[in-house]
Structure 1
Amino acid sequence: MLREGKQPGKDFVLVDLRQEDRTGGTIRGSINLPAQSLYPAIPTLYTMFTTAKIRSVIWYCGSSQHRGLRGAAWMDDYIEDRGDSSLRSLVLLEGIRGWANAGTEYTAFMDEYDEGAWR
């Protein structure tokens, strides 16, 4: 659950790596960066996030078993190569599907939520 007092875009960034499969909604405050275009953008994203003093980047896709893991790993490698300990690269376990199926306290934080898409 989003911690009280923590705001997306200020304290952390949620990155939705889905492209064509974005039906059903997205977590409020997340940005969409399709996985296909992500790898070359990692240095720019790192600069943007660290300049904005973002502490955590949370990556997700449908299940976070492929694109979410890959995105988090690429950013984590980039962070590690710089010896940076101020930014963390994390994966949203079970992805947006897990979030959408976790109950109304989670779906309340979704934009364009469509219950039928998650059955």
Structure 2
Amino acid sequence: MASSDAPNSLPWYAAYPAPSNQSPMSITREQVLDMLKEKNVTMQRDFVLVDLRRADHEGGTIHSSINLPAQSLYPSLPTLYALFKASSVSRVIWYCSSSRGRGTRAAGWFDDYVKSEGDTSMKSLVLSEGLKGWVNAGPEYVALVDEYDSKALGKE
């Protein structure tokens, strides 16, 4: 049995420091929906959606999200920040299934990193209620889930 599978092993995120910001700013699905609709018209985006799910990314992902499993995030913070900064991203929106674990932790870590760089223009936000809240909000939201599979998300 691998140490990560041992019953008393620490969770993956214990290998990294806890975020200083334990309550990062959040953004509602309604706000994100408006941003997606607006930015689809202009094609110029100043935000990026990051899906933090690893094995459970099955079932779909919010349109135009990038998938970056939370387990690989912490060591990548400097590179991600540099890429987002070079791309004029002003809002990074993190989510997982519910955005209560991985989403909040990632938003906190990235917020800590942005502040350590002295950057006051880039915001790290967690999507309230995550993907489950998104798909449960109705057809207008589900229509913006790429490769949507209700069964994989526990909806029948």
TM-score range, shorter chain: over 0.9
**Counterpart Cα distance in 2 of 1:24 and 1:47:** 30
**Counterpart Cα distance in 2 of 1:52 and 1:23:** 28
Query: Whose Rg is larger?
Result: 2
The residue identity in structure 2 corresponding to 1:6 is: K
**Counterpart Cα distance in 2 of 1:48 and 1:118:** 34
Structure 2 partner of 1:52: 87
Structure 1 partner of 2:112: 77
- Structure 1 unaligned blocks of 5 or more: none
Return structure 1 stretches of 4+ with deviation > 6 angstroms.
none
Identity %: 55
Question: 1:68, CA displacement in angstroms?
Answer: 0.3
**Counterpart Cα distance in 2 of 1:88 and 1:14:** 12
**Counterpart Cα distance in 1 of 2:91 and 2:52:** 16
- TM-score, structure 1 normalization: 0.93
Structure 2 partner of 1:2: 34
The residue identity in structure 2 corresponding to 1:104 is: P
The residue identity in structure 2 corresponding to 1:2 is: D
Q: Secondary structure of 2:34's partner?
A: coil
RMSD between aligned residues = 1.5
The residue identity in structure 2 corresponding to 1:105 is: E
Question: 1:9, CA displacement in angstroms?
Answer: 7.8
Structure 2 partner of 1:62: 97
Q: CA 1:102 to 1:118, structure 2 compared with 1: closer, same or farther past 3 Å?
A: farther
Structure 1 partner of 2:50: 15
Query: What is the total number of aligned residue pairs between the two structures?
Result: 119
Q: How does 1:86-97 map to 2 (within 5 A)?
A: 86-97=121-132
